[in-house]
Structure 1
């Protein structure tokens, strides 16, 4: 009997987040050799916002991305993203101190006992809270720290890491994208379009309710499926490798000292909301707030100074990949900016929209903004680039400026939850240890639903409301 050597096939590995983003950098660099260079003139409004001047587009000398430019763009992107990168490190380190007090495990133990048989109830409660935060004061980067809590919480309740991540990301971006009073998208876009700030809020609020409700239902249906059969989880094998001691957590209950630590966390979140809404806090202030929280909970938890420092470093270590991924995403934007191709892309798309029949122009604006968001993930940045063109274009083709703003906010918001050029998304997935390809597989049906809803809302607004 002859023996045969059978070579085992290598198991397919999903590309690492760095690999995916660097591939996008390479593709973007290649396109700079084919897309003509051009730019608009820009002006500054009373708020210091740089705006594109419509009708001023002109070609400039070509400046395609060279070999060294490609690699230099990564470093420049890291430098430009330093604010967000170090925000992630500081928040991660602060939560490292928080986790060293074992308060999370004790809290999860209490929650799992109280919610036995009713675990699904927690999902809409958490998601509604984050959707409100996204729809009112524009929560986005601030949601990243909550991934550290939501993923183990979801797994303790019998769900998976995707459910935990979706409870935060899907809800905050559903609220952000369909916002009724987001100052960073609706507020900026309406200001540029010459509309009263947050006007049309009633209509937007109805659309927001539907949009968020559908998103919550989608997450709950998936969570229920995983709860019934854990093998249906897209992250089943990966989640089995996570170091979570179910029995130990279920045995723990909160002590008075840990309850006080939780109270500090709650006060921190309240301070975060008030600071952003009332004082205009952004990344530096929020990072400082979490750092103060870390020190206070360390003192309450009776951690020695060296223990607090070690816990801080450990928290930072866990988020290194997530923080650096933001720099990769910024590197793509650097390539487009340095090659002077962003304005050319905007000019070409706006000309296509202008050529559509009046009944389809609103949808054309929605599609334009959706495509533009892949290369300009910043909501306020996209508003500054596109609205000075889209608002007067709407006047010419019979689309109200309110509808143009609505098309902008849905086009800007929906793709944030899946595009690999969105640094916040990629950082959150890295923290949750979920491959982007698997996340895309889970979120794709939801994205299709959301784009359909966005198209319906824009059409209804154009034909019957504004």
Structure 2
């Protein structure tokens, strides 16, 4: 990189931990001046990160176990060999990786709310993108925007759509899921196409000129050391038969992971009802504890297949887990924000205040203002299922009383929370993915701001049309 690249940044944000702790402190301070809200004590502020880690402990342990799995797999050299082989075959066509991967991740997002699960793919995708001649920012964008656009346009996502419909049913409002799916598809495809355009445009620039990267010299060096090491980007490790078997087991691991969290029974599929012999829960009912142990089991199997010594296998697993400690901690600290919000009642206060703003508005104004409000709410409550349960009993009846379709409220909620969850530092997915890929939060904000503005305009148009037609 040139001298200009090295000096590109004159200001950098503090670390993710500091940013999150400052936000937590500001929220705790705000509770001191808001009537009807329980004032957070100093002890609440001090304990927020620990309580947040306690609530997110299943995700944190899951991340550590994924790290161990990746450590064992990386030790075999199968990932390097497989990635090198794929990139070699795609020589001159590496850009095709971006739309293909983004479409795959978006399918996961719209169908079963794929979010935290993308963290598991970060190391692999980042290594692939660097070897292909791109930078880690392309990897982060592929993962976050891919899955994120799917969640933004949720169609059958049980953690958003089903939860929202259930919450509306609880207050006597019936929502037509066909309308929700139709609007979701429009939001999903529009935001995905916009994201693919921006990511591919940036990737082309970086591939053509490395100085076009938005990364600082420090970020680039950290990523290269973490994912490439001392190897030349042109070096290809021999793709032996044993490594091919390991890579097949690696792919099988993630196939089962995805199968384990898709709620098959909700879709009327009973094929996996008797698959509870491994963890006690059948495929489709797995959660982070089940997933974590699955990665441990496959770590052992991969180690045995590659004929690794017990000491080497355990050492590789622990080294891989150690690399994820920072990621696990940042997820816990980010969760501390929602702990403060819920324990003080600030979340309910914000929801009730927001609903009063929407009364008496025309359909288009209502749509846009509601979208902005949901974006604000999602900053403080990044959990889609949590926000659905809290907000739908308030916003649903309000919309119906004003003569607006309740189905569009679900789509507004989906779009608003989806847009914010592409960038908010209160999301463990965002901060965790960035931490693994060695990309600063400020760099991500710089890249994704334009994307979010265009997606917001597109989503507002789609939702306004839906509001007028329904």
Report the TM-score when normalising by structure 1: 0.89
User: Deviations 1:54-83 (Å, cap 9, x if unpaired)?
Assistant: xxxxxxxxx312223211122111111111
Select 2:65's aligned residue among 82, 87, 90. 90
Question: Residues 322 and 359 of structure 1: is their aligned pair in 2 closer, same or farther, counting only changes over 3 Å?
Answer: same
Secondary structure of the structure 2 residue equivalent to 1:374: helix
Alignment deviations for residues 283-333 of structure 1 (CA, whole Å, 9 cap, x no partner): 122212222221111111211111111111111111111110111111111
Summarize deviations over 1:408-435 as a string: whole Å, max 9, x none.
1101111111111111211111111111
Count residues with an aligned counterpart. 432
In 2, the alpha carbon distance for the partners of 1:94 and 1:381 equals: 30
Counterpart pick for 1:181 among 156, 159, 166: 156
Are the counterparts in 2 of residues 65 and 335 from structure 1 also a CA contact under 8 Å? yes
The equivalent of 1:55 in structure 2 is: none
CA gap 1:137/1:434 in 2 versus in 1, 3 angstroms:
same
What does 1:160-171 correspond to in 2, within 5 Å? 160-171=135-146
- Name the structure 1 match of 2:198: 218
- Say whether 1:234 aligns with 2:192: no
Deviation per CA, 1:362-413, whole angstroms, max 9, x where unpaired? Answer: 2222222111101110001000000011111111112101111110110111
2:445 matched residue in structure 1: 440
Q: Which runs of 5+ in 1 are unaligned?
A: 1-9, 39-62
Residues 180 and 410 in structure 2, CA contact (< 8 A), matched pair in contact too: no
CA 1:418 to 1:127, structure 2 compared with 1: closer, same or farther past 3 Å? same
In 1: Cα distance, 2:12 partner to 2:192 partner: 34
Q: Partners in 1 of 2:315 and 2:360 — Cα distance?
A: 61
CA distance in 2, matches of 1:213, 1:11: 33
- Superposed, which structure 2 residues align to 1:182-201 within 5 Å? 182-193=157-168, 194-197=174-177, 199-201=179-181
Which residue of 333, 338, 345 corresponds with 1:333? 338
Question: Counterpart in 1 of 2:185?
Answer: 205
1:261 aligned partner: 246
> Is it true that 1:19 corresponds to 2:18 in the alignment?
yes
Q: How does 1:99-178 map to 2 (within 5 A)?
A: 99-178=74-153
Mapping 1:224-373, distance limit 5 Å? 224-237=204-217, 238-241=219-222, 242-243=224-225, 244=228, 245-247=230-232, 250-277=235-262, 278=264, 279-373=284-378
Contact 1:361/1:399 (8 A) holds in 2: no
1: CA distance, partners of 2:316 / 2:178: 43
Cα distance in 2 for residues equivalent to 1:248 and 1:333: 42
Q: 1:336, CA displacement in angstroms?
A: 1.6
Whole-Å Cα distance in 1 between the matches of residues 139 and 231 of structure 2?
A: 16
Distance change (3 Å), C-alpha of 1:195 and 1:367: same
Counterpart of 2:45 (choices 39, 58, 70) is 70
CA deviation vs aligned residue, 1:222-247 (integer Å, no higher than 9, x gap): 10011111111111512134222453
The structural deviation recorded for 1:249 is 5.9
Distance in 1 of aligned mates of 2:417 and 2:15: 26
Whole-angstrom CA distance in 1 between matches of 2:364 and 2:458:
18
Assess, with a 3 A threshold, how the Cα gap between structure 1 residues 198 and 136 changes in structure 2: closer, same or farther.
Answer: farther
Does 195-204 or 156-165 show the bigger shift? Answer: 195-204
Find out whether 1:398 has 2:403 as its counterpart.
Answer: yes
Number of the residue aligned with 2:269: none
TM-score w.r.t. the length of structure 2 is 0.88
For residues 207 and 30 of structure 1, the distance between their equivalents in structure 2, rounded to whole angstroms, comes to: 37
CA distance in 2, matches of 1:169, 1:384: 24
Between stretches 239-248 and 74-83, larger displacement belongs to 239-248
Secondary structure of 1:117 counterpart: coil
- C-alpha separation in 1, matches of 2:450 and 2:334: 24
Q: Give, in whole Å, the separation in 2 of the partners of 1:203 and 1:416.
A: 19
Query: Structure 2 CA distance, aligned partners of 1:133 and 1:11?
Result: 38
Per-residue deviation, 1:14: 3.1
Partner of 2:276: none
Partners of 2:126 and 2:340 in 1: CA distance: 34
* Structure 2 gaps, min length 5: 1-8, 169-173, 265-283
Q: Distance in 2 between matches of 1:200 and 1:345?
A: 26
CA contact under 8 A between 1:192 and 1:384: conserved in structure 2? yes
CA RMSD of aligned residues (A): 1.7
